[in-house]
Amino acid sequence: MGDELELKELLESIRFVYGYDFTEYAAASVKRRIDHFMITNKFNSLKTLGKTLLKEDGFFEQFIQEITVNVTEMFRDPPFYKSLRENIMGRLATYPFIKIWIAGASTGEEVYSLAIFLREKGLLERSVIYATDINQKALQTAREGIYPIRNMKAYTENYIKAGGQHSLSDYYVAKYDSVLLDRSLRQNIVFAAHNLAADRSFNEFQLISCRNVLIYFNQDLQNKVIDLFYESLCPLGILALGNKESLLFSDRKGKFEMLDRKEKIFIKTD
Amino acid sequence: MQYEAVVIGVSAGGLAALSGILKELPVDFALPVIIIQHRSREERTLLEEVMQAKCRIRIKQADEKERIERSVVYFAPADYHLLIEKDRSFSLSRDMPVNFSRPSVDVLFMAASEVYGDRLIAMILTGAGKDGAEGVRAVRQRGGLTVAQDPEDAFFPDMPRAAIETGCVQYILKPTELKNLLLNIGGK
Ligand SMILES: C[S@@+](CC[C@H](N)C(=O)[O-])C[C@H]1O[C@@H](n2cnc3c(N)ncnc32)[C@H](O)[C@@H]1O
């Protein structure tokens, strides 16, 4: 549907008009999302999609929701959370005050997962978690902390596999077909919009987690974002990526050392 | 016709079917072979290890941004969709499952057909469900070569049958014929 050049033009004009830059995203995934969007909204060419996007404000909001991949889970990849719990939390505990950045937090499941483990380790009270995303609607869901009850069975299994010490249901109340996560988890979380492709560093952190976000970027943007993380970490700060995101193919390899090869947890070296 | 890549979609019953084919491929097979084998979400690299033990050709899991090389068999990692970029490198995505599957055959085949067009060979082997049927349609529409394992011979006939029902499968083959086709095209 539509060729490469047309797609490029569309992304360029979106960047120009709305300031959202998708030109450095991995093209295959963007293309797939746009094709999907065109089918559900009955557009038969990129041109007509482009016209509508540039004319109708509200429509663009809808498009943005669709073009980014927001799929997430609580305790996604349990072995990662297990490693975080067993190998990383001890390091965090040595700081009097712990600042954490979750970049690409989507609808927040990951943020609450981390908050739960921090609480179980007695660290939540002296932590602040900055949870950011480009997608405002996803952030709003994250703030509310309300999730479909049908997902909780899978999340509970993840939580147990990750080494959770209580019952996940201790952290939420169920109502109709939703659950509401424990409000007190949220006290030390700041939700905010931040665009990794455009915005700058805003603090210094002991831990940055950016999982399943970089896979959607091309190499150049990946490198830029890794630099941004490097700048935003304290000496010996920890960087956690998704389990298929290594710094292997990035040119910034020398700036980090592996802490956990399998779970893609790195430490800033100098 | 100068083919550039082979993509294979396979699900239940795949291990035996695949190893029967892959173990015949020479180390210098002329094309890359990119495979979606449905696998448990939590499995990390067992499939690649088991397969490598049986085969001469190099087997590996597709890595993010990795350049696609000939003479290598790539498997999609568990719980990720596998996509192909115009510059012949891999992209991964954790978007929603398609046909209850992540990785999904449809997702790979559609992306591959956009990149390779008529220089692509797509095969559907044994499996339950219908993942791959839409993918085969896309490959065929762009002039690629489409093949399905004969459902009569497949451990699980549904997946090849669904592909065949699209009317877009050109050849319906027995396992030895599948192997011979690959050897004829890329075996030298
Ligand atoms: C697949 S989700 C990852 C959620 C969670 N980290 C996980 O691993 O499950 C990817 C998120 O990255 C966000 N994202 C995409 N581009 C971004 C950008 N330029 N800046 C910040 N966030 C971005 C998307 O909106 C989406 O919520």
- How distant is the Cα of A244 from the closest Cα of chain B, in angstroms? 7
Q: Look up the CATH architecture of domain B5-186.
A: 3-Layer(aba) Sandwich (3.40)
How high is the pLDDT of residue A169? 97
Which of A170-174, A244-248, B34-38, B65-69 shows the lowest mean pLDDT across its residues? A244-248
- The reply to whether A135 falls in a domain is yes
Q: How are the residues of chain B apportioned to helix, strand and coil, as percentages rounded to the nearest 5?
A: 35, 25, 45
- Ligand 1 atom 11: residue of nearest CA: A104
CA neighbor of A130 nearest in space, from A120, A142, A146, A147: A142
Residue B30 exposed, middle or buried by CB count within 10 Å (0-12, 13-18, 19+): middle
Domain span at residue A227 reads 78-268
- The answer, yes or no, to whether any atom of ligand 1 lies below 6 A from the CB of A83, is no
What confidence tens digit (pLDDT) does each residue in A55-111 have? 887 888 888 888 889 999 999 999 999 999 999 999 999 999 999 999 999 999 999
- The answer, yes or no, to whether any atom of ligand 1 lies below 6 A from the CB of A213, is yes
Question: What's the rounded mean pLDDT across residues A34-63?
Answer: 89
Q: Where are the domains of chain B?
A: 5-186
How high is the pLDDT of residue B1? 63
- The reply to whether A242 falls in a domain is yes
CA neighbor of B112 nearest in space, from B102, B104, B122: B122
- Active site (catalytic) residues of B: 11, 38, 131
How high is the pLDDT of residue A231? 95
Boundary (domain end) residue, out of A41, A67, A93? A67
Q: Are A118 and A93 in a shared domain?
A: yes
Q: What is the CATH number for A186?
A: 3.40.50.150
Instruction: Give the list of residues 6+ apart from residue A21 with CB closer than 8 angstroms, or none.
Output: A15, A195, A197, A198
What confidence tens digit (pLDDT) does each residue in A198-223 have? 999 999 999 999 999 999 999 999 99
Q: Are A84 and A197 in a shared domain?
A: yes
Q: Are A56 and A82 in a shared domain?
A: no
Q: Considering only CB atoms, which chain A residues are within 8 Å of B64?
A: 215, 244-246, 249
Residue B8 contacts residue B34 (beta carbons within 8 Å): yes
- Please check the confidence at residue A167 and state whether its pLDDT lies above 60: yes
**Residue A245 in contact with partner chain B when CB distance is under 8 A:** yes
CA neighbor of A268 nearest in space, from A245, A238, A242, A243: A238
Question: What's the rounded mean pLDDT across residues A168-181?
Answer: 96
How high is the pLDDT of residue B90? 97
Residue B62 contacts residue B75 (beta carbons within 8 Å): yes
- The reply to whether A72 falls in a domain is no
Minimum-distance ligand 1 atom for the alpha carbon of A138: 27
What confidence tens digit (pLDDT) does each residue in A8-29 have? 999 998 898 888 899 999 999 9
Provide the pLDDT confidence category of residue A1 given band limits of 50, 70 and 90: very low
Q: Are A32 and A125 in a shared domain?
A: no
| 3-state secondary structure at position B100 | coil
**Does an H or E element contain A148, and which?**
strand A146-148
Q: Are A11 and A138 in a shared domain?
A: no
Q: How many separate domains does chain A show? A: 2
Q: Are A225 and A251 in a shared domain?
A: yes
What mean pLDDT is reported for chain A?
93
How high is the pLDDT of residue A248? 64
Provide the pLDDT confidence category of residue A240 given band limits of 50, 70 and 90: very high
How high is the pLDDT of residue A246? 80
Q: Are A125 and A55 in a shared domain?
A: no
Q: What is the pLDDT along chain B (188 residues), one digit of tens a residue?
A: 699 999 999 999 999 999 999 999 999 999 999 999 999 988 899 999 999 999 999 999 999 999 999 999 999 999 999 999 999 999 999 999 999 999 999 999 999 999 999 999 999 999 999 999 999 999 999 999 999 999 999 999 999 999 999 999 999 999 999 999 999 999 87
- The reply to whether A73 falls in a domain is no
Q: Considering only CB atoms, which chain B residues are within 8 Å of A215?
A: 64, 80, 91-94
Residue A254 exposed, middle or buried by CB count within 10 Å (0-12, 13-18, 19+): exposed
| 3-state secondary structure at position B84 | strand
Instruction: Give the list of residues 6+ apart from residue A49 with CB closer than 8 angstroms, or none.
Output: A10, A34, A37, A38, A41, A43
- The reply to whether A146 falls in a domain is yes
Q: Are A134 and A155 in a shared domain?
A: yes
Q: A 62-91 residues with CB below 8 A of B?
A: 69, 71, 78-79
